[in-house]
Copies of this chain bind each other. A is one copy, B any other.
Amino acid sequence: MRETTVIRLKEDIQLENATLLVGLPGVGHVGKLVVDHLIEKLDAEKVFEIYSPHFPPQVMVNEESTVKLVNNEIYVCKANGNDIVLLAGDHQSTSTEGHYELGTIYIDIAEELGVKRIFTLGGYPTGQLTHTDEVMGASNDLDMVTELKEYEVTFKPNEPGGGIVGASGLLLGLSMFKNIKAACLMGLTSGYLVDPKSAQALLALLSKILNIEVDVSELEERAKDMEKIVANLMEAKQQQQQQQPEMLRDTATDEDLRYIG
């Protein structure tokens, strides 16, 4: 495999007014948690496998100790009358050029499937261990901004200040060339930990927007486990700060947290 290879698993895919949800690995794995959860709960059908030399040379090992070459996958499902397309995967591109190539492939597939709007899902790193269930947004379409404000998505001028990097951002940009509306929804998250709590908040919002109902009990449980870990971390951080010589305090604790995520 010297080139990106798209394997189509189903010939005849009929969708109407479909919405594409993108949940690839990223900050706090928030987007990935949401889309992987939806694929399972909505019993979505896999219709494309994408393999590429722009993914790492790597296999993942599953429960039976058998392996799977890392890839991205596209699923479809119907929920409360809506056609939903889901893009999930083990990795984003390892190279800049690969990001553009894969992004172009995804938008071409979206166009072919008649996708009318795209939500790319991700995390917004706050650097704080705790935060409210806020979801930040940005869009390639001003009407979409107005519409999403009604769902209490937070929009701040020029934020994120450094733009949105990676597939979540790039797909907003590339879809403009195909006149597909797209928004990025980012759950607030520390940036240090895989964050099921942020995913839960993002999924709740998304369910309202899509007008669907999804069982979130598993995410909820993982979120509770995570809250315990955070509580322990914060306690440890506090103790550490009291024990350390003063000049090392801030940097040392930040470093420690960074290695957890």
Contact = CB atoms under 8 A, between A and B. Distances in A.
Interface of A: 1-2, 53-70, 90, 93-97, 99-101, 103-104, 137-142, 145, 155-160, 163-167, 169-170, 172-174, 176-177, 184
State the number of copies, please. 4
B139 A65 contact: yes
Given A1-B103, A65-B138, A66-B139, 7 more contacts: A53-B101, A56-B96, A58-B165, A62-B157, A65-B156, A67-B138, A69-B174
Contacts of A172: 59, 67, 69
A57 B103 contact: yes
Contacts of A64: 142, 145, 157
Given A163-B60, A164-B59, A69 B2 contact: no
A96 B66 contact: no
Nearest to A91: B163
